[in-house]
Each structure stands twice: as C-alpha cells, then as structure tokens.
Amino acid sequence: MEEIKFIESFLLEAGVYVREMHGRKSDMDVSTKKYASDILTEADLEVQRRCVLALQQAFPDDQLVAEEEGYDTFPDDPEKRCWVLDPIDGTNNFMRALFPMFGISLAFVDKGIVQAGGVYLPVSGDLFLAERGNGATHNGKRISVSEISQLSAAKIEMDLGWTYEREDSIARGYRLLCAAGQMRCHGVAVVSLCQVARGDMDAFFHNTLNPWDYAASLVIVEEAGGMATRLDNTPLHLFDGGSGVLMSNSKLHEEIVCLLENTNSIELKK
C-alpha cells in the first residue's frame, strides 16, 4: 500500500526537523490560540506546510484535514479520500517538559474509515504504524494490546482537557478514577493511545477530541486488537462531529463505559 509508505517517509523526515527545533525551542516563535494554554509554534506550522507540499506531489487530488491555518474543515463528501494530520500533538510538552513526550501523527482515510496511520515520537525515535487488515507495529515489530481484564489492575490514561471542560471531565471520570489500579495523564493523546496499542496502558478516554488528535492512533489501536468507541459505546466515526473518545484493550471496555455513563450526574464539591 503506497499510502503507508508515504506516511512512514513523511513522519521520519518531519521528525528530523521537529527534533532539531526542540533543541532550540527557546528561540522559537510561539503564539496562543483560543486559550492561554493552547499554544502554536512555528514548528507546528512548518510541519503542516511540508505535509501540504508532499501531498500535492504524491496525491494531488486528496484533501488534507489538519489542526492549523484553516485546514480544520471536514470533507464535504465523507466517502472522499483524505489525510488527517496533527503536526505536533503535545505542543505544551514540546515547549515545557523535563521528559518531553509529543508526537507527529498522520492518517489516511478512505470512505470515512482510517485505512492507515502512523505516529512518530521525534525525541525517542519511536515509530508506530498500522495498515487496516495488516496489524500494527512499533519500530517494525508487531504489537498487541494488553490482556488485563480486572479494572483494579488496570492502568488508565485520561486527559482533563481545557479549563472550560475540566469539571465535566472529572465528574464523568470520577468512579473510574476511584476504581482503576492507576491513572495517568501525559497531556498528549497520541502517546497515550500508542501505549494502549502496545499494551503498556489498558485504556484511554477524553471528553473532547478532534479527528487529528486520534485518527492515526485509531487504526493503530484497532489493528493491535483494541476497541474504539464514543464514551457511550456508540460507534466512533471520524467526521461525525462527536467529541468523546474511549479506546481500550477491549476486555475492559464495557465496564469503563458503565462507569463513565453513571457519573454524569455527580456534583463536584465547590
């Protein structure tokens, strides 16, 4: 499949640039978007620009859906071929972290289904790839989700989101927070989801995610044997306008859904 080869090549090339920029991040141009903590760097913009150019050469008829500069428009025709890019997921970690975790992700979508995807972590050099029907790999080796079936032994990833949604995120996840063996928040969805795919973590949930935050990871998790739905266990369609995302090793999925659904009415103490 030529699309997966394109994904791998682009991620590795873009990763060299992002790693270089991370080494001199103190000199980088940085701006804020809608929220003070929602930052945008020149590296984000350059990776996206390079992806636009590469796609124009390799697949000129395909649409790009991406986070920055007006590319966040979903396809008018959901059956149309398109690509979904997050130039740097975890930009805050890119700019401020002792142990930086961030990644570049790119997915190929056809007929509304993610057919191939890749995530590259420039600092560690970890490359995750998956092609629909052909499994998922980490640095060339096949990976699979965990076999953990007891929530008390599970390691769960979550993300609290932006300030306006945080109270709802905590309320929805309250019982899960109390029941899971361990909870973590890395602040970067692609890292969390790739850890689920590799079996290092057992599930991940987020109240609000855009397609570029999880498109590539979706096929990686599913091809590793995991399960992906909305928070209420309804099917997860990339461009359906939904927001909540739950991905797991599948063995814990229904129990987590039940806990998330039963916490909507919890009132947090002021």
What pLDDT, in 10s, does the model give residues 33-42? 665 556 678 8
Q: Output the pLDDT for position 265.
A: 46
Amino acid 33: pLDDT: 67
Residues 85/14, Cβ–Cβ less than 8 Å = no
CB 162 within 8 A of CB 35: yes
**Long-range contacts, stretch 261-267, CB < 8 angstroms, 24+ apart:** 261/231, 261/232, 262/175, 263/171, 263/172, 263/173, 263/174, 263/175, 263/176, 264/171, 264/172, 266/171, 266/174, 266/175, 267/171
2-142 to CATH, choices 3.30.70.890, 3.40.640.10, 3.40.50.360, 3.30.540.10: 3.30.540.10
Residue 21 has pLDDT above 90, yes or no: no
pLDDT for residue 26 is more than 80: no
- Residue 251, classed as helix, strand or coil, is coil
How far are the Cα atoms of 253, 254, 268 from residue 234, in angstroms, in the given order? 12, 11, 27
Whether the pLDDT of residue 167 is over 70: the answer is yes
Count how many residues are written for the chain.
270
What is the rounded distance in angstroms from the CA atom of residue 221 to the CA atom of residue 260? 20
What's the confidence (pLDDT) of residue 258? 93
Between residues 67 and 131, the one the model is more confident about: 131
Looking at residue 124, its pLDDT comes to: 94
pLDDT at 68 over 90: no
What pLDDT does residue 99 have?
73
Q: Is the pLDDT of residue 170 over 90?
A: no
Q: What's the pLDDT tens digit per position in 109-124? A: 999 999 999 999 999 9
Q: What's the pLDDT score for residue 30?
A: 74
Distances, alpha carbon 125 to alpha carbons 19, 93, 119, 138, 212, in Å: 10, 16, 10, 10, 21
- At 98 the pLDDT is 66
Three-class SS state of 120: strand
Residue 28's contacts (CB-CB under 8 Å, 6 or more residues apart) are 21, 41, 42, 43, 95
How would CATH label the architecture of 151-261? 3-Layer(aba) Sandwich (3.40)
CA distance 245 to 233: 9
| Cα 181 to Cα 42: distance, rounded to the nearest angstrom | 39
Rounded Cα gap, residues 151 and 181, in angstroms: 6
Q: Stretch 153-157: mean pLDDT, rounded?
A: 96
For 252-262, what is the mean pLDDT? 91
Tokens describing residue 90: 């975890």
Return phi, psi of residue 245, to 5°: -135, 130
Side-chain-side CA neighbours of residue 65 (13 Å): 26
Q: What is the pLDDT of residues 80-115, one digit of tens each?
A: 999 999 999 988 888 876 678 999 999 999 999 999
Query: What pLDDT does 269 receive?
Result: 44
- H helices present in the chain, as ranges: 2-23, 42-58, 91-95, 163-172, 174-179, 189-198, 211-223, 253-261
List the domain boundaries for the chain: 2-142, 151-261
Q: How many helices (H) and strands (E) does the chain have?
A: 8, 14
